[in-house]
Amino acid sequence: MPWPWLFLAVTIVGALFTFNAYLPRPAHGSWLAVPSFFAGWLTAELVAHHFAWQLAATVFFVAMGALDAWPGWLGLGITAASWAALLAMVPVARRSGDVVEEALRQGLGPDYLRTSEPAEALLRASAAVRAARWNPFDFRHPDVEVARDIAYATEAGPRHMLDVYYPRTGIERAPVLLQIHGGGWTIGHKRQQALPLMLHLAARGWICVAANYRLSPKATFPDHLVDVKRAIAWIRAHAADYGADADFLAVTGGSAGGHLAALAGLTANDPEYQPGFESADTSVQACVPFYGVYDFTDSQRLDPRRQHMRFMERVVMKKKFDAEPAAFERASPLFRVHPDAPPFFIVHGALDSLVPAASARHFAAKLREVSKQPVCYAELPHAQHAFEVFHSLRTHHVVRAVDRFLAWTWARHRGRAASSDAA
């Protein structure tokens, strides 16, 4: 058995995973962007697990005699270099805490944690997030209950269902967060994303709602957004049954969900997207889109091969951009910014292989120019798409920052409501 050569091959594979985590294929750059995303995502967020399998492989091959010939020693050198690079990712992930905190200070003010507004929300925000576990997909929390598969539309089908996460001990007049899953508008499910964030917030006294929506190609935009609006209307009408004060409702989502969350925040009470429930209040008081798609028109020319554009034309929009550019603009949060937008906290990975960080950066800048409300933008070093889907060190820091942003926004909302009542 050529153990030295097999060991060398395995070490090269491991090193390629590490290399890709540092230098993934660029978003929209080639067909390799998707596999590059998966490989880089799992490596950068699960450094300990990646290190463990490389270590186990090394011990096994050395025991089998891999160091009896020069290819084995070469493989050992490659492995050592890969380990060093992997370990260097840990302080980078930890630095995400400084990045998101600086984003909050720039957007909300350097003294945002020392406001004179209701303090209990801010105190809750400073509580520690549950530490990441060896099993990053352990989404149980002893302090959280979940009510599943609740219909939010009269013509409810399997895509018109939502789940409600709420504190096990019960609560009154809690703020609400609506989570919108991603999946390229074609796949995805309410039970698959943002679970670390929802469990953390629900344990801190929030009501979190995760909703499905109709998917393409069967659905055509704006069907997806209409369903999000229906879910918001349901929350306004029924969230009090779970102890919520639906007067404060924040919305979040990742990727396609980030796109829909941003649009929901920017199209409050627009009758175009509320057929049959035009009078329902679909406004939101805060918006936290993760690695979202903000421009369907590719106005920055970030999609040189028009891969994303062709997908949107054929699958999601069902129309040609050249024939109906206005429809693509109306579907783009970048073209829907306005002075009365709610506070935004935009989060994106600097090494996103699926949606370029430049797009999020441009959207944040445009929103800052126009909006009267705070706009926070955090671009996380070495972070991939979907970085916060499961527990990781980076997830820990980002969840804590989102908690602080939402708590600050809620505290300010309550302070203004109290002032209005007193007047």
Q: How many CB atoms lie within 10 A of CB 155?
A: 8
Q: Which segments within 197-326 are labelled E, that is strand?
A: 207-211, 244-254, 286-290
Residue 159 to residues 150, 223, 406: CA-CA distances in angstroms?
11, 11, 28
On the CB side of 324, how many CA atoms lie within 13 Å of its CA? 10
The β-bridge partners of 162 are 150, 211
Element (H, E) at 410: helix 393-422
Q: What are phi and psi of 70, to 5 degrees?
A: -60, -35
Active site (annotated) includes residue 352: yes
Residue with tokens 């050592």: 80
| The two structure tokens encoding residue 410 | 């809620």
Active site (annotated) includes residue 332: no
At 142 the three-state DSSP class reads coil
User: Which of 169, 173, 177 shows the shortest CA–CA distance to 197?
Assistant: 177
Catalytic residue among 36, 96, 216, 255: 255
| The two structure tokens encoding residue 321 | 């951009």
CA 399 to CA 401: how far, in whole Å?
A: 5
Residue with tokens 């028009």: 306
DSSP per residue over 65-76, as a string? TGGGSHHHHHHH
Catalytic residue among 28, 385, 391, 413: 385
| The two structure tokens encoding residue 95 | 């630095």
| The two structure tokens encoding residue 141 | 């929390």
| The two structure tokens encoding residue 270 | 């627009």
Q: Which residues contact 130 (CB under 8 A, 6 or more apart)?
A: 141, 199, 200
The answer to whether the beta carbons of residues 209 and 175 sit under 8 Å apart is no
Residue 245 to residues 130, 172, 419: CA-CA distances in angstroms?
26, 7, 18
Residue 175 to residues 128, 202, 236, 270: CA-CA distances in angstroms?
19, 10, 11, 23
Catalytic residue among 223, 298, 352, 403: 352
Active site (annotated) includes residue 283: no
CA 251 to CA 19: how far, in whole Å?
A: 35
What are the residue numbers of the active site? 255, 352, 385
